[in-house]
A and B are shown apart, each in its own frame.
Chain A
Amino acid sequence: MTDLTKLTMTGALEGLAKGEFTSVELTEAHVRAVEASRALNAYITETPDQAIAMSERADAQRAKGEAGPMNGLPIAVKDLFCTAGFQTTAGSHILEGFKPPYESTVTANLWRDGAVMLGKVNLDEFAMGSSNVTSYFGPVISPWSPGVLVQRDAAETDAGFLAEVTAAIRQPRPVQEWQWSRKLVPGGSSGGSAAAVAARCAMAATGTDTGGSIRQPASFVGIVGIKPTYGRCSRWGIVSFASSLDQAGPMTRTVADAALMLGSMCGYDPKDSTSVDMPVPDFKAALTGDIRGLKVGIPKEYRVDGMPAEIEKLWQQGIDWLRAAGAEPVEISLPHTKYALATYYIVAPAECSSNLARYDGVRFGLRVEGGDLKEMYENTRAEGFGAEVKRRIMIGTYVLSAGYYDAYYRKAQQVRTRIAQDFEEAFKLCDVILTPTAPSTAFEIGANMDDPIAMYLNDVFTVPASLAGLPGISVPAGLASDGLPLGLQILGRPFDEATVLKVAGVVESAADFTALPPFVSARY
């Protein structure tokens, strides 16, 4: 790995501006890193040619003095964003091979600002999951998984006539191969984004967050992930999971990078009726580090039973850091927190059961023929969707059905309103809220698979803010005793991402998180 992949985006922009390297060089370094990181299964589709072409254009723009805010920075795109002419799968068999003829607003904004696409990264199928194990394209392995890098000759595994010819022509080239002792999840659903950014095979990645899908994986792999306020980023061109919750956001290695990239991603889009017509502030300018007098809410209901002591300890550490920086911690109450997960697992499946009805084999994606229309539907959807997606479609169909709507969906909407009111009340007493991001560190691939409820509990701290549409960020705060990263979550008032980022910057400085995943440190 070269030094160029160690750079933050903010740092790289300086180097590009000074002419220390070009975007083409920066991009080539990352294209090689993408190749070298295939063992993580972070990318579903690599787009090296596109990346080089885009970096050439970025360099040309910079030469003309027309460099945008993200000029020349190679990033990965969660494979939930439609990218014109490039396969967009949503991690599902049912969309395998689907090449949208249009570009999502968020990615179009990034390209407008000069960013470079390295490829499309893995995710839980239709963003449904907290561990990136539900993807049709296989689980993503966290770069934090313990293991050793072994070298061997390429010829050893290449078999057959062609390998012999190749070997005869070329000297055997040593190949690096990672041998895992445990395979950990990167979190989800934006698991490919998290793994790619943590493994330095993308400077940043887009993510989407429905119930914690940016923040939880950011916490699991020790990076920064912000879900802005619902309505900040356009949802147009992002494959829908749960429309009233889905929100795009950046996943980066620093808070400054998050501020930079969020500024490019968001903005009003008349093509999305839920997009909000508000000016986009200069988020980077908010990173003053000055949080004196700011009130930081500590919700008492977030001290859940069975939470590991070290997470409790880290949370307290966070409180102390903010107090030391001049903020004032205040205890607040969010009394309806305990209903948040149940509410979420009614609202989100209800919306997904309807949103996913369009994958019917008629117009695009997979079609499995049948004797008649109904059988074609059944065959296509049975083969096209994985188990978790089917589970949620069934839950959603059930809670919306006649006779159950009032007991489930309507009740959930009422509780959702109460949860939002909890936050409104709380924000009368404080400016931001500090909580742990997740109740645990990353677990092993395969864990919690037979217990969906245990899997859903991963989102216990992230879901309430999703239901209320509030901005939330996860910042790496330290390592747990198992050597794995833990994040702290900062929530803010609607459209007050600036304050959220400012406080996150203070946590980032105090935590001084510099640990590298074994996958990276072994190769630097």
Chain B
Amino acid sequence: MTSVIEGTSLIQGETGNWEVVIGLEVHAQVVSNAKLFSGASAQFGAEPNTQVSFVDAAFPGMLPVINEYCVEQAVRTGLGLKAQINLFSVFDRKNYFYADLPSGYQISQFQQPIVGKGEIVLDMPDGSSRTVGVTRLHLEMDAGKSLHDQHPSKTYVDLNRSGVALMEIVSEPDMRSAEEAAAYVRKLRAILRYLGTCDGNMEEGSMRCDVNVSVRRPGGPLGTRTETKNVNSIRYVQMAIEYETRRQIEVLEEGGTIVQETRLWDTTKFVTRSMRSKEEAHDYRYFPDPDLLPLELEQDWVDAIKATLPELPDEKKARFISDYKLSPYDAGVLVAERASAAFYETVAKGRDPKLAANWTMGELFGALNKQGKGIDQSPVSAENLGGLIDLISDNTISGRIAKDVFAEMVETGKPAALIVEEKGLRQVTDTGAIDSAIAGVLAANPDKVADYKGGKEKLFGFFVGQVMKQTQGKANPALVNELLTKKLKE
């Protein structure tokens, strides 16, 4: 049995504490119309084998030609990861036989990748942050897809994906918990989406993770790692790490040793399974692809791309903290997606930024979550949410009524002012009306009034509630407080 030790990332085993060491390799499909080395479309979801050029199918005499836009996307991503851009990089062939790899080799970058060391700052749920190193990013082509379920004895091959550009982004083994690994994938995905270099759709396979896990005694030498391939959701990344951590600790605690091997994540049984050991590992016979010249970039070209980079999550977060005085946590949540950050900024424009953040993150995100919608499908526009906040700020409605109005806005998409008008929800600020409601409540509850006056001050809330009920919630709460206090003192 193992359990996480509270307040640390250490794991309590039978024989003492363990530390898990995690590194991730993320394959991110480059947003590009065409493939990495051919002009065929890279669109997802087309009929099988309809987006295949002779290059992708590796016909005799066909040659690869690098897609400049994919290179630009890789450089943009490297810049977004604050990484070193290598002006000289080399494409290599990784040789192995498989039916969905038409040429018998994958064109990749082995020893001289296009992007070198960078970093990603993780925002942890407790508001703290951790920096994880990026070892490298390289460009490579995807293989096709083998379909084993189309025929009882045959395998079908779909080459639409063959040749699509991927960025392999390799992290340092800097993560120490499944949560950190999940935060890493989330943050990386956010950065890629901000940059527009990968859509990050893990369900469609445009982002896939290989998870490297080892365990060791805290402060001890690194343990032997296993690599679990093709883990295709953030939840699975976490589950696979947790499973693999437990498995490795159990093996070690029972006196066994960890075998360096490639494992697979089983999405039905939620376990990792051995795929092949180091001894069975392929000898990929990497060598520079003689069909492609080394890729040489000019600094000016890189600088021009840098000049067009959008504001990235970390900078946006810093700005939200300093300009809107938001907490690091709130700022982190709002900038997680470019669209929600933009939504928030529209809401906050000329309004109380804290109130705008609360409504965006609390009510709006809650409603979207419930409906399973993204910010771009929000039934309430940023302008309309801003309008609701305006009505609160100028005391037209109370915060409580605002929640009802908001619920109506989610239903109908109507502007707040219209709903308030239609339903007559305008807040009662007429002291006479409130006074008479208070008088009624106090007259109906003489025993409670007596108790209150006898020292049971907690009953104040009860009186407020009753008054609000009398006014169907429309009474201005501040006024109710003020007038009630006065009346009770009489």
Contacts and interface: CB of A to CB of B under 8 A. Distances in A.
B60 A95 contact: yes
A69 to B, nearest CB: 24
Interface string A70-112: 0000000000011000001010000100101110100000000
Interface in A240-293: 240, 242-244, 270-274
B67 to A, nearest CB: 12
A100 B61 contact: yes
Interface in B55-78: 57-66
A354 interface: yes
Interface string A393-424: 00001001110010001000000000000000
Contacts of A351: 290
Contacts of B97: 357, 360, 374, 377
Give me the 8 closest cross-chain CB pairs, A-B, nearest first.
Answer: A357-B104, A243-B290, A244-B290, A400-B285, A358-B58, A237-B61, A239-B60, A82-B61
Given A273-B65, A357-B95, A88 B105 contact: no
Interface in B156-189: 157
Given A357-B104, A357-B105, A373-B155, A100 B64 contact: no
Contact of B287 (A88, A237, A373, A409): A409
Interface size class of B (residues with CB under 8 A): 20 to 34
B292 interface: yes
Contacts of B102: 358, 362-363
Contacts of B98: 373
Contacts of A236: 61-63
Interface of A: 81-82, 88, 90, 95, 98, 100-102, 104, 235-240, 242-244, 270-274, 350-351, 353-354, 357-358, 360, 362-364, 373-374, 377, 397, 400-402, 405, 409
B367 to A, nearest CB: 51
B248 interface: no
B60 A82 contact: yes
Contact of A274 (B54, B283, B293): B293
B287 A405 contact: yes
28 contacts: A82-B60, A90-B60, A95-B60, A100-B61, A101-B54, A238-B61, A239-B60, A239-B61, A243-B291, A270-B65, A271-B65, A272-B65, A273-B64, A273-B65, A273-B291, A353-B285, A358-B58, A358-B59, A358-B104, A362-B99, A363-B59, A364-B59, A364-B60, A373-B99, A373-B155, A397-B285, A405-B285, A405-B287
Contacts of A363: 57-59, 102
A362 B157 contact: yes
Contacts, number: 100
Contacts of A101: 54
A344 to B, nearest CB: 14
A100 B57 CA distance: 13
A328 B389 CA distance: 93
Given A397-B285, A400-B285, A358 B95 contact: no
A237 B61 CA distance: 4
Given A240-B291, A273-B66, A363-B57, 11 more contacts: A100-B61, A235-B61, A239-B60, A243-B291, A271-B65, A274-B293, A351-B290, A358-B60, A373-B98, A400-B286, A401-B283
Contacts of B292: 273-274
Nearest to B95: A354
B193 interface: no
Contact of B95 (A82, A102, A238, A400): A400
B285 A401 contact: yes
Contact of B291 (A274, A373, A409): A274
A323 B342 CA distance: 80
Contacts of B51: none
Identify the interface centre among B98, B99, B104: most chain A CB within 10 Å of its CB. B104
Contacts of B138: none
A375 to B, nearest CB: 12
B96 to A, nearest CB: 9
Contacts of B293: 273-274
Contacts of B286: 400, 405
